Amino acid sequence: MLADLPQLEELPRQTASAVKNKWREVVREVRETGSVAITNHSAVEVVLVNAEAYRQLAASAAALKEREASALDQLSAQFKDRLAGLQSPGAGDKVAAMFQRKGKLAKRPKAGTSF
């Protein structure tokens, strides 16, 4: 996976003017350190990273997106199962009967996926 990235404040810095005028030096510094923060009026505006770091970031982002989609698919399936149970024949009658008992249950309630 992705190696630990340094904090933005810890990156070597170059001004936008230096990048414009000394591109080769900036590229050499990116190759040596992995990334360089580009500043404009002392504020970081851009971070240059080497190609390998970018590939790792892109792969990490894709893996995270895939895990998120998988989790959402699983939650959606669980919701559909529970909704189907609520829409099954007689489900309305069971809920109405439960409210008519006014909190008094004939047996212990069931919880979980078996309900």
Which domain CATH number covers 29?
3.40.1620
The rounded distance, in Å, linking the Cα atoms of 111 and 92 is 18
Structural domain boundaries enclosing 28: 8-49
Instruction: Return the ∠ at Cα 48 (arms to 47 and 53), rounded to 5°.
Output: 105
Number of domains in the chain: 1
- Six token digits for residue 32: 């040596």
1-24 mean pLDDT: 78
Residue 19 domain flag: yes
- Six token digits for residue 87: 């829409």
Residue 34 domain flag: yes
78-90 mean pLDDT: 89
Indicate whether 17 pLDDT > 60.
Answer: yes
Residue 81 domain flag: no
Q: What is the model's pLDDT at position 114?
A: 62
Question: Shortest CA distance to 30 belongs to which of 21, 41, 19?
Answer: 19
Q: What is the model's pLDDT at position 78?
A: 94
Residue 72 domain flag: no
- Judge whether 26 and 48 are in contact, CB under 8 Å: yes
The rounded distance, in Å, linking the Cα atoms of 99 and 115 is 17
The rounded distance, in Å, linking the Cα atoms of 92 and 74 is 26
